Structure 1
Amino acid sequence: MAYETIKVRKLNPALGAMISGVDLSQDIGNQTFQEIHDALVENQVIFFRDQHLTPDQHKDFGRRFGTLHVHPVAPGIEGHPEILPLHSDAKKQYAAAAWHSDVSCDQEPNMGAILYAKVLPDCGGDTMWASMHAAYEGLSDKMQHFLSGLEAEHGSEHIFGPPKNEKDKRPTAIHPVIRTHPVSGRQGIFVNSSFTTRIVGMKPRESDAILQFIYRHIDTPEYHVRFQWEVNSIAFW
């Protein structure tokens, strides 16, 4: 795909690209927006370096792609409920060591996420993404056909704990195991070991066997891209 207003450098054949030549703190034009959108669809996760955004600018960029999502459980930063802070210290530790698709427990999961790095450890802290399109395409035709007829339940109580009151939400949703991307038309796997609880209509042992097979398949290194963070870097997936 040809790009005129941005530069796109692929990082892995399966997914991932570095985008340069654009300042996301500014009001990007329609052509630049469309090229960033196209790069996201083509590469599934895109990265930007050396971006300097206020919370409002962060949200303005996100709004170009749709309505902003508010996390159903975790609170956002003060004055900006759409921006979820991720940090670790002596009292609070995030450990996202398992593959997951953010809030797949929602009835309508968000189309993407824009993660902006402001404070980093001296070393470590890399993030990995896996292409669910490539993982699906790496299955046999018979397995693709089998999984395409299944649905899975996605829950959140086992992650966030039981509700504290009647207003406290712990969403649950049922989604197809194989989904079709609305823009590219590519099919991809849509289960993950964090939120997915079972295959609908199966006995627990049957469901567990299928899910564990999928999770092991997703571990294939050829489906992955790894990003080494720098301060003021952005990942959009």
Structure 2
Amino acid sequence: MTVTTAAPTVTLREARIPGDGMYEGPRTLRRLPEGWEERPYELFEVVPQARTIGAEIRGVDLSRPLGAALREELNRALLEWKVLFFRAQHLTSDQQRDFAGHWGELETNPLLAVGSREDVVRFDKGAGAAPTYENVWHTDVTFRERPALGAVLQLREVPPFGGDTMWADMAAAYDNLPQEVKERIDGARAVHDFIPGFARFYGPERLIPHQDLFPPMEHPVVRVHPETGRRMLFVNASFTTHITGMDRDESDRLLRFLFQQAHVPEYQVRFSWQPGDIAFWDNRATQHYAVGDYGTDRRVAERVAIAGDRPF
């Protein structure tokens, strides 16, 4: 008599990863707002550098006066691509200021080194230089009531290798959040403070005199772009300290998850500099990261920032 035994039941072992972390898989990469009318550019060539963010502009000399039609077309390109690159412009500081001034009032920052004018920030780093704002994803000056609209950065001197800058598309970051996270943060507000970011390289004696000038400021966690209507994630690891009205542990956990979104490669563009190159970015819609991988070699940049509006 043959006895037949049933095959043992095989079950898949349990496997899990910690919650509240990043995920792998497909992402929605939508460059333009819904309903946006995309039109050809007539005054220059646009060369995309990534799927949703970053384009090189060819055929424009930024040292020449900027007419109304060119300004309008460049602004449309900025809204559509979020950061624009211009090669080998070699602008003087005044020419750089003049270009940025077409987008509004220029901003000063008493916490950063000044170049030839009060509204020109100079980053000069090499052997023995003081640390500069590198190796952290951030949006500029969100600790202000009116964070910068954008910034125009020019590299005066570049290291033999390294020293790139990266930008992340925070509209794409918002689009791809889990629905339950969107429901938690839509309508939420968060506090921004200059001290956490600048305490990375300044002591209390440098920061205390500016506490009254820059009190903690509250902004929406998800802001609406004032020109495109696009919803964008608006918290960053340098300046956002907590979500208003939320338990501290819960706020910390949620903010850590939100900060991580800038690290997603699909949302990023990376730019390798040559002397005289210009980057003009929309600070309302992006975060950026200066890569400090060039050791004791020298890197010199000048930045002009444009005052923005109060986020809503």
- TM-score interval w.r.t. the shorter chain? over 0.9
Residue matched to 2:162? 124
Residue matched to 2:219? 175
Is the alpha carbon distance of 1:168 and 1:148 closer, same or farther for their aligned partners in structure 2, counting shifts above 3 Å?
closer
Q: List, as ranges, runs of 4+ consecutive aligned residues in structure 1 with deviation greater than 6 Å.
A: none
Deviates more, 1:94-103 or 1:189-198: 94-103
When the two structures are superposed, what TM-score results if normalisation uses the length of structure 1?
A: 0.94
Distance between the aligned counterparts of 1:164 and 1:133, measured in 2? Answer: 35
Q: Which has the higher contact order (CA 8 A, sep 6+)?
A: 2
Match for 1:65 among 73, 94, 103? 103
Matched, 1:83 2:139: no
Task: State percent identity of aligned pairs.
Answer: 40
Are the equivalent residues in 1 in contact too, given 2:195–2:239 (CA < 8 A)? no
Distance between the aligned counterparts of 2:182 and 2:69, measured in 1? Answer: 36
Structure 1 counterpart of 2:182, one-letter code: Q
Three-state SS of the structure 2 residue aligned to 1:96 is coil
* Partner deviation per Cα, 1:188-228 (whole Å, 9 max, x = no partner): 00000011111111121111110111122332110111011
Is the alpha carbon distance of 1:218 and 1:167 closer, same or farther for their aligned partners in structure 2, counting shifts above 3 Å?
closer
Is the alpha carbon distance of 1:202 and 1:8 closer, same or farther for their aligned partners in structure 2, counting shifts above 3 Å?
same
Is the alpha carbon distance of 1:235 and 1:166 closer, same or farther for their aligned partners in structure 2, counting shifts above 3 Å?
closer
Residue matched to 1:23? 61
Structure 2 counterpart of 1:88, one-letter code: K
Three-state SS of the structure 2 residue aligned to 1:46 is strand
Tell me how far 1:168 sits from its aligned partner: 7.2
Tell me how far 1:72 sits from its aligned partner: 4.1
Structure number having the greater strand percentage: 2
Are the equivalent residues in 2 in contact too, given 1:72–1:171 (CA < 8 A)? no
Tell me how far 1:74 sits from its aligned partner: 2.0
Give unmatched runs, 5+ long, in structure 2. Answer: 1-38, 282-312
When the two structures are superposed, what TM-score results if normalisation uses the length of structure 2?
A: 0.72
* Partner deviation per Cα, 1:127-171 (whole Å, 9 max, x = no partner): 111000000011133322321121111111233344354797344
Are the equivalent residues in 2 in contact too, given 1:70–1:82 (CA < 8 A)? yes
Three-state SS of the structure 2 residue aligned to 1:207 is helix
Match for 1:219 among 229, 241, 263? 263
Matched, 1:93 2:137: no
Aligned length: 236
Higher-Rg structure is 2
Match for 1:203 among 247, 251, 271? 247
Distance between the aligned counterparts of 2:272 and 2:113, measured in 1? Answer: 27
Residue matched to 2:74? 36
Match for 1:141 among 152, 160, 179? 179
